[in-house]
Structure 1
Amino acid sequence: MASSPAVAGDGGLADPALDGERLRLCMEAARLGTWDWQLAEGRIRWSDNIASLLGGVPGGPGDTYEAFLQRVLAEDRSRFAQQVAAALEKPSAFDAEFRVYVPEGGPRWMRARARVLAEQGRAVRMLGVLQDISLEKKAEEESRRATDFQEQLLGIVSHDIRSPLGAIISWARIMAAGGPPPEEQQRTFRRITSAALRIERLTRLLLDFARAQLGGGIILEPRRADMHELLQQVSHQFRVAYADRSLVCEKEGEDTGGMWDPDRLAQVVSNLLENALKYSPPDTPVRLAARARKEHVVLEVHNQGKPVPPELMPQLFEPFRSGPQASRTAKTSYGLGLYIVREIVRAHGGTIEVRSDIEEGTTFTVSLPRLPPVAAELMRRPAPVGPGPKRG
């Protein structure tokens, strides 16, 4: 009897082989592996793709439960083990999420779903699947951050921008109606200037934050700049809005110059100076210093007053974290502002540190290489070739 012809498109494979290939494709697309744990034997049989699912871990996940447990991140191991033990004690299905170590990159998120088979009420076998859910966890985190950003943005617009804008409108109406007495006019101008500068700074912070979050990073335009001159320029602008405060600029060493983006560094100085003024007693000076080092230039901004609480120090440069005070204004200054400061400093290849205690006050220290990597890269690029001479 002649054999039956193969179905067109099946590649000549028999049905069982096709079913197996379909299953492997489904498991690969779903980033899914399987296991079969025979409790009496103490061995776990894994699907062929489990090693790649775990990032090519040498030795795979191991053929015992104890070996696999060592692949689980230490912070999640105890919780995961308790879930497994509970499912075995009273035979039942379980669903667990945890992280595992991989040879390269950060830990991967996994989801384990299993069914326990029992004989006479005693667990004898566990069948389960292991799924890589790292992408889903990343999407959840991005969604959460987007939601948090929207909430914070609404707060900034409704309070931190609307308040100074309302002050500008009110004082503008007063000026249009004839203005305050002559002795009050300069104070009124300073209030309007201060409110306008606040709106401008908040708008710029929001734009930079959006760029940083979207992955574009801080864009720099390096050119020759002098740190001490920059401190003097920024402090002069602040003296208009804070006429009653003492700002002291110091210089150590002769050459405090480098190849930086002066506009971006002005943002750094402005944000640090604004924080120093806000969180220091009004009768104390704020000191700014530019210190020359061999390969670096150091910027310091110091103020007296209450120190930054120790529990906030690890999160001080994260977006939307509050500072010494609990007001919304403090959150935007000690959260978004310092986050942008850190990103600008990092873009220059520099570092930023903070020291804060009740005796010495608070000092932010920025160290910048005189020739940041981005500036060195620009200098290595060949100059553009101009048009050649015209031919007659």
Structure 2
Amino acid sequence: MRLHQFISANMESILKEWEDFARANQPPGRELKASELRDHAQEMLHNIVRDMKSVQTERERESKSQGNSPSQSTDTAAEVHADERLGAGFSIKLLVAEYRALRATVLRLWFKGEAPSHQEGADEVDDLIRFNEAIDQALAESVARYSEAVIENSDIFVGMLGHDLRSPLQVISFGAAKLKRMEEADNSANPLGATMLASVQRMKEMLNDLMDFTASRIGEGLVMQSGPADLGEITRQLVEEFRSGHQDHNFRYVSSGDCTGNWDTSRVGQICQNLISNALQHGNPEGDIAIGCEGLADKVVLTIKSEGKPIPESQQQDIFQLASRKHLEAGNPNRNLGMGLYIVHELVMAHHGRVSVLSTLSEGTIFRVELPKRVPQDLSH
């Protein structure tokens, strides 16, 4: 049996090994479904089979051996696979390892069960050459897309940070100039000072998010230490801080049940802080913001509700994943969300929790975080 015929006939066995490899190497804290683990593997294998079956001229073979593949108007399966793996948190090292494992799997199974035992003929040698060329082409497409996306995302986040920092810096600049002109300190300086301090805090949040983003993408992950924590008390204190710095909004806070658990105190505070900041930034000006903390038997549920233009349902599943070209599309309301929601997602996943969003015109936008009360003592994501 020719190699391309073997791949088609044993597609499920090959895909199962691909899935098992991806599951064993998925990022910590992730529990991807079988369909997500397999991703575009089947489509890539079909493309490899078609490529191996196609007739090539000597000129085409020479060009391909030099890494020159035919240009396409649409994204290839390998390119889309790179986007999906980046979004799921796979490193480029794991992306390359998947192709290495795929190559080894196909050849191992073929030689074990179907390759002729006699000396290899011209067809078998040609099959090996064509198969390796096709795998290398898919790998090159994935690596190129992954690298391009990482650079692109870095530019996006630097641009977002620069854009978002301008507003608090302007407030501080204005306030500092006004304070300098004051001949004597009086009560009029008090509200201005509070506003300036809130702006400084906002900049610190952005810089913390940037450092966490860098750690989650190119470092060793978000490292946390868990211990006894009261999410209800943490949330109450944050609401009071936001209330003093944003008197144009009405903050409503409700807590019920036992909201204690075993978490990283500063990190769960960061989750709540980022969600309230997001509500302030993207909700209606001077609108109500409702924060709830409910303690259940095995988990604590945190909700932040704001008013404003709803997020389209088709785009709600992507709101926490900024490593996607979809966020650059014109008309996407999430394109300027910054890093806050991405960091929220990463922190929640590191605590083995869940985060979701529901956004409608009648109900408003509600972010819901579920944190299990008991998680491992040492957390690393």
Q: Does structure 1 conserve the Cα–Cα contact (< 8 Å) formed by 2:8 and 2:46?
A: no
Residue 278 in structure 1 maps to residue 281 in structure 2? yes
Which structure carries more helix by proportion? 2
Aligned to 1:370: 373
Aligned to 2:251: 247
Amino acid corresponding to residue 356 of structure 1 in structure 2: S
Aligned to 1:115: none
Q: How does 1:233-244 map to 2 (within 5 A)?
A: 233-244=237-248
| Distance in 2 separating the partners of 1:92 and 1:360 | 62
Aligned to 1:31: none
Aligned to 2:264: 261
Q: What TM-score, normalized by structure 2, do the two folds share? A: 0.65
Residue 99 of structure 2 is aligned with which of 97, 101, 108?
108
Q: Give the C-alpha shift of residue 256 in structure 1.
A: 1.1
Q: Give the C-alpha shift of residue 155 in structure 1.
A: 1.2
| Distance in 2 separating the partners of 1:227 and 1:340 | 18
Aligned to 1:150: 154
List per-residue Cα deviations over 1:172-207 (Å, max 9, x = no partner).
Answer: 012101179978644433431232122111100011
Q: What TM-score, normalized by structure 1, do the two folds share? A: 0.64
Amino acid corresponding to residue 362 of structure 2 in structure 1: E
- Rate the CA distance shift 1:75–1:182 in 2: closer, same or farther, 3 A: farther
- Rate the CA distance shift 1:248–1:327 in 2: closer, same or farther, 3 A: farther
| Distance in 2 separating the partners of 1:98 and 1:278 | 37
Aligned to 2:89: none
Aligned to 2:55: 87
List per-residue Cα deviations over 1:69-121 (Å, max 9, x = no partner).
Answer: 88694434665566566637x89736468769xxxx9963889xxxxxxxxxx
Amino acid corresponding to residue 304 of structure 2 in structure 1: V
Aligned to 1:231: 235
Q: Does structure 2 conserve the Cα–Cα contact (< 8 Å) formed by 1:179 and 1:185?
A: no
Q: CA RMSD in A?
A: 4.1
| Distance in 2 separating the partners of 1:167 and 1:328 | 29
**Number of equivalent positions:** 300
Q: How does 1:89-238 map to 2 (within 5 A)?
A: 93=60, 95=64, 108=99, 127-128=126-127, 129=129, 130-131=131-132, 132-133=135-136, 139-178=143-182, 185-238=189-242
Amino acid corresponding to residue 216 of structure 1 in structure 2: E
Q: Does structure 2 conserve the Cα–Cα contact (< 8 Å) formed by 1:318 and 1:335?
A: no
| Distance in 1 separating the partners of 2:250 and 2:148 | 42
- Rate the CA distance shift 1:290–1:108 in 2: closer, same or farther, 3 A: same
Aligned to 2:115: none
Q: Give the C-alpha shift of residue 161 in structure 1.
A: 2.3
Q: Does structure 1 conserve the Cα–Cα contact (< 8 Å) formed by 2:303 and 2:367?
A: yes
Structure 1 or 2, whichever has the larger Rg, is 1
Q: Secondary structure of 2:356's match?
A: strand
Structure 2, unmatched stretches of 5+, are 16-40, 70-75, 82-94, 104-121
| Distance in 1 separating the partners of 2:360 and 2:212 | 30
Q: Secondary structure of 2:377's match?
A: helix
- Rate the CA distance shift 1:193–1:247 in 2: closer, same or farther, 3 A: same
| Distance in 1 separating the partners of 2:332 and 2:4 | 52
Q: Secondary structure of 2:355's match?
A: strand
- Rate the CA distance shift 1:180–1:345 in 2: closer, same or farther, 3 A: farther
| Distance in 1 separating the partners of 2:194 and 2:331 | 23
Aligned to 1:340: 343
- Rate the CA distance shift 1:171–1:329 in 2: closer, same or farther, 3 A: farther
Amino acid corresponding to residue 87 of structure 1 in structure 2: V
Which structure carries more strand by proportion? 1
Aligned to 2:308: 305
Aligned to 1:3: none
| Distance in 2 separating the partners of 1:65 and 1:216 | 37
